[in-house]
Amino acid sequence: MADGHEQPPEGWTESQVSDWLKLIGVKKQYIEKLYEEEVDGKILLALDENFLKSKIGMKFGPAHLIIQKRDELINSKEKSPVKKKATSGGKKELEQKNIDNKSVQSEGPLAQLPEKAQAVVTNRPAGKEQHVSPAKEDCRPRPFDQEGIDFIYVKHRVLQPESGAFNLISPCHEFKSLATATKLDRTRLQAKFAGEVLKFATGCMNIRSNGTIHFGVMDSKDDVGYVHGEIIGIPVQEKDIYVDALDYIERSFSSGRDHVRECVRPPRFIEVVDRESTEKMYVVEVDIVPSISIVKNKVYRVCLPKFAEATNKVHFEKETILRRVGSKTEPVMEKDISDFHERMKDRDAQREEAENNLFLSAPDCCQDLGRKLKMLMTSGKKFIEKGKWFILVTNKFNPDDLCNIEWLLNLNIFCVFDFDPDSKVSGLCSEYLQHHIANMHSLQSYRISGDMSIKEFTSNLHLFEQTSWIFCNGRSDFKVDETTCDEMTWIKTKMTVLRESVSLICKQILPKGIFQVVFLLTSPVDKPLLHTFYEFFTDMEGHEDIICICESEKNFQKWQSFAEGSCGAESVNNASVVGMKMSHINSTLQQVQSVEASAKKHLPVFVKGTCLLETTEEEKMYSLEILTVDLCDGTTKEFIEEEKANIDQQFYHGGRINWLNLWLSDRKHVEEIIERDAYQEVYTFVNDALKSNANQTPVNCINIYHHPGSGGSTVARQVLWNNRKSVRCAVVKPSYPAALVAHHAVELREYEEKDQQKCLPVLLLIEDSDKEYLDDLKNELEVATNTKRIQHATLCFILLSCRRSHDPEKRCKESPLQNVSVTHKLSAQEKRKFARKREVLEAQYEPDFILTFVLMSKGFDEKYVQQFVEHLLQGINRQDVVTTLILYVALLNTYVQNSFISQSHCEALLGLTVRWEMFRQHEFEESLGDRGKLVFLHLRDEKTHIESIRIIHPLIAEEILKQHLGNQQTRSSLAMDLLRDDVHLREGVLEGRNIIHF
């Protein structure tokens, strides 16, 4: 077979293929079957796993092995140089082979193959090139001569080539596969191992150079089918075999044995991680450190041990002086021994100088880890985004660190992959549960069943309301199906389930870019956690949203050595913060969070005081957004100063009002927000309902009907904001059933009250819900009050419904004591308020960026809207893709309330390719041009945080359609164009992925 390896595999005969299969360990029955099928070298190169399994009847394992080894063989042939000098005849032969290879490629494989094996090629996927092996990733060696380093290698990664002495301190390297020797008995294996180590060590000591010899790493000269320096590993059943092998030192050296013992470090066993196998393999390494204080003025002679098969015992070779010459260890020739001794002093001087320089070298420059941590966690912004989701992957916490997790408590944590079985009892989970609600899961339970939709899965597990805590390796407090297992058992039994969970989150639940994965390594890193990184890296299609935080350099080493193979050393370093204490991390990250860690929440009580609202209790009422007495009071001063202008401008550009707008106005950080006349009407209705009345019902209803964009939602939220200190207020979150909302509303009413007969009423805001839902909710609340036997004429709940309507005034007339209308038309008093406010805003902002307010200040005058749209459309290119986008969005916003189009869909429609995520928003806004920037309002979904856009006002949307389409195109034909657009199909509109939301 040796001769066969000198020629390319495509030239092998059936017998040579059989020999090679035997060499790589394929079972005899399969070898014979392939021989019968006339599989020669050409056919071997065309094989794929499907053929081996379906036609030959192989199991998955041997089929995968053959294809993997075949590809490695091809790769080594492509990389390895021609070893022999070519004679003139050899050169012609080589040229002829190249010509033959080209002819084979041009003629096609089927013409070359025996009839029995033609199915091999026809079964291969079309379009895939043959003879191409995947590139093997480089890796760096274990840090030299460092105790306690937790380091791993990954199978098939490649170390830098063997090297000679460079500067005497940087170690030279030598590789040995030792694959054959590991199958020998103890005596033979020890003799082989000791002979290689002592040969290398003597060479290093005599030239005064540090060195490392690696066993389980391939040398391409001897290991055909592998790349030089490729990590394979060897099985190690008993580590003491290798440790005890160094006892040969006493028998191999006639003098200086103690010196050799000091210079030759004990063997290190570095585990090799293989994603395709659960067998434990190791690279065994021995470091050589010839310190000048030990080796000065000495030349070492060695008698190398070797097992003699003839005598069946170990004998010792002739005493020899060895030295490193380039990447080899060679004997010093007899004629050179005198010169070698004479130059010993020069080598000693070089070693001494090298050691002194090592101690005198300047210390490493200290990184600004604080800034690095902030930039990674904020994605380069000033503060951590309030809507950003975080996935935490962690292991066992140090008990002292549990008092420094305030930064974690303030994060929006979607889920935690926890590898600490004791976490619920005494770890991070236990501490977290004192502050937040979390749902406990095993890997098995965090899976979607075949008949369940993603929406059902998300709803059933409350994924966006409460943190999911996934125990990845058992729970010590829950023994049933939750037992902890060792690394290899975990890989066999749980890795596939983890892969499914990660894929479910990254590909079906959370869109890319709205979440970040944080690996918080607080204890030694095991292989399951490394495999978790690989799964996230694969499913997230890169590392840009994965960061690593690790206090211990020692713990980080193992993580780093694994991650570098996927991301590269620079990327891993840039995305990792190593060396910061948890207390320092805690303090640093609180500086970039918008809310103070110590912020408390309080509710009003019946006796006119307040009570503390525990976060855990608040999270149990997850269908409600609860307004507390001190809502927003915990906002940091830094956040206020940095963001107040942006928050204010977003509102006046047409964005929905949020509580921070009202808080900033109350605290005089921004100008006051105008209260429309309808506000006073609603406020009066609420106050009248709160007054004692013999005819009072337990559930009172007030309705706000408003023109789209007229400020109805602002009126409703102003009412809640200004009543939050006298009654308990909450906004009903969308999509929750009426029965659940009623249950939570009852809990809110009775929270921390002694007597259920004496509780403050709850003011509930329900936005854009139909009458049927309101009736159901009212009925559920009435049933609850009756069940609890609440006294007659006691007001328990006020339902404040805020709904869009095209004829609010008509709806108001239907029930004038219950309904309030908000229209585009301003009263004389409102016009004066808006005119004054407009003057103030125009001094601060460009008119285009407060367009909605300008529209309102003009009383939504039809003529003004027409003039604005005429100016907008003047000179517009009707064929431009941005114009098409404006029309599509205008059509949706005119006919469908609350509709929007996702930003990712718009990017596809615009043909926009985003190269860097950090510039995504900038590139998108620039692509819209001046017109698009003017009329589009950017939104973010409250649950998924998907970025989207809509026209700033429905009146603008309708006028755009009216003026742009004219008589040239009907709105129905535009709608058909929208549905037929292939971009919509590609982006999954018809698959219900919420690209367009109605």
Q: Does residue 256 have a pLDDT over 80?
A: yes
Q: What is the pLDDT of residue 934?
A: 63
- pLDDT tens, residue by residue, 878-931: 778 888 888 888 888 887 766 778 777 787 777 776 544 444 555 666 677 666
Q: What is the pLDDT of residue 993?
A: 36
pLDDT for position 700? 94
Q: What is the mean pLDDT of residues 335-350?
A: 91
How many CA atoms within 13 Å lie on the side-chain side of 947?
16
Q: Do residues 530 and 559 lie in contact, with contact meaning Cβ atoms separated by under 8 Å?
A: yes
Percent of the chain residues topping a pLDDT of 90: 40
Confidence bin at 2 (pLDDT 50/70/90): very low
Give the pLDDT score at 298: 93
Q: Is the pLDDT of residue 579 over 80?
A: yes
Q: Give the pLDDT confidence of 279-312 residue by residue, as tens digits.
A: 889 999 999 999 999 999 999 999 999 999 888 9
Question: Across all residues in the chain, what is the average pLDDT?
Answer: 82
Q: Kindly report the pTM of this predicted structure.
A: 0.69
Q: Report pLDDT digits (tens) over 971-995.
A: 777 777 766 665 544 444 333 334 4
Cβ density class 662-677: b for 16+ within 10 Å, e for less: bbbbeeebbeebbbbe
Residue 371 has pLDDT above 90, yes or no: yes
- Which range has the worst mean pLDDT, 93-107, 233-247, 280-294, 558-572? 93-107
b/e code 576-588 from CB counts within 10 Å (16+ = b): bbbebebeebbbb
What pLDDT score was predicted for residue 729?
A: 97
Between the two ends of the chain, the Cα-to-Cα distance in Å is 69
Residue 834 has a pLDDT of: 83
Where in 276-319 does DSSP place strands (E)?
A: 281-288, 301-302, 305-308, 313-316
The percent of residues above 70 in pLDDT, for the chain, comes to 84
DSSP three-state, residue 82: coil
The pLDDT tens digits for 111-156 are 333 343 343 333 433 333 333 345 677 888 988 988 877 788 988 8
Helix (H, G, I), strand (E, B) or coil at 872: helix
Which regions of 192-280 does DSSP assign to beta strands (E)?
A: 211-215, 268-273
More confident of the two residues 805 and 409: 409
Q: What is the per-residue pLDDT for 112? A: 34
Convert the pLDDT of each residue in 145-189 to its tens digit.
888 777 889 888 899 888 777 789 989 999 999 988 999 999 999
Least Cα distance to 792 among 686, 687, 694, 689 occurs for 694
Pairing type for strands 389-394 and 328-331 reads: unpaired
Mean pLDDT value across residues 318-339:
91
Rounded Cα distance between 671 and 664, Å, is 8
Q: What is the pLDDT of residue 232?
A: 92
Residue position matching structure tokens 């603008």: 956
Decide the pairing of beta strands 268-273 and 281-288: antiparallel
Q: Pairing mode, if any, of strands 602-604 and 610-612?
A: antiparallel
Q: What pLDDT does residue 846 have?
A: 67
Per DSSP, 397 falls in state P
The more confidently predicted of residues 832 and 627 is 627
Dihedral angle of Cα 91, 93, 94, 97, to the nearest 10 degrees: 160
- Over residues 596-603, the mean pLDDT reads 87
